[in-house]
């Protein structure tokens, strides 16, 4: 079931020409392409936590879209 969520996330984001990147409020990092991977790799987020649908709000709060 979690793989469905991941696929959704991957497909929804950028249309191929316009690559969206994000700014992370937690580490003030720029140019982040995969928010959930970033949380896991840089902030020790638990995989189950970041793939939970109800935590998408949290992800939206942490990351700001930059163009």
Contact residues: Zn ion, CB under 5 A: 24, 26-27, 29, 42
- Bridge partners (DSSP) of residue 23 are 64
DSSP 1-67: -HHHHHHHHHHHS--TTS--EEEETTTTEEEES-HHHHHHHHH---HHHHH-GGGHHHHHHHEEEE-
> Which residue in the shown chain puts its C-beta closest to Zn ion?
24
**Beta carbon nearer to Zn ion, 7 or 27:** 27
Shortest reach from residue 17's CB to Zn ion, in Å: 26
**Beta carbon nearer to Zn ion, 10 or 26:** 26
Shortest reach from residue 9's CB to Zn ion, in Å: 17
Shortest reach from residue 35's CB to Zn ion, in Å: 9
């Amino acid at each position: 079931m979690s793989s469905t969520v991941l696929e959704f996330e991957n497909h929804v984001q950028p249309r191929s020409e316009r690559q969206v990147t994000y700014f992370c409020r937690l580490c003030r990092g720029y140019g982040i392409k995969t928010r959930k991977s970033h949380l896991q790799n840089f902030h020790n987020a638990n995989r189950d936590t970041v793939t939970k649908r109800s935590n998408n709000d949290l992800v939206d709060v942490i990351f700001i879209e930059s163009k």
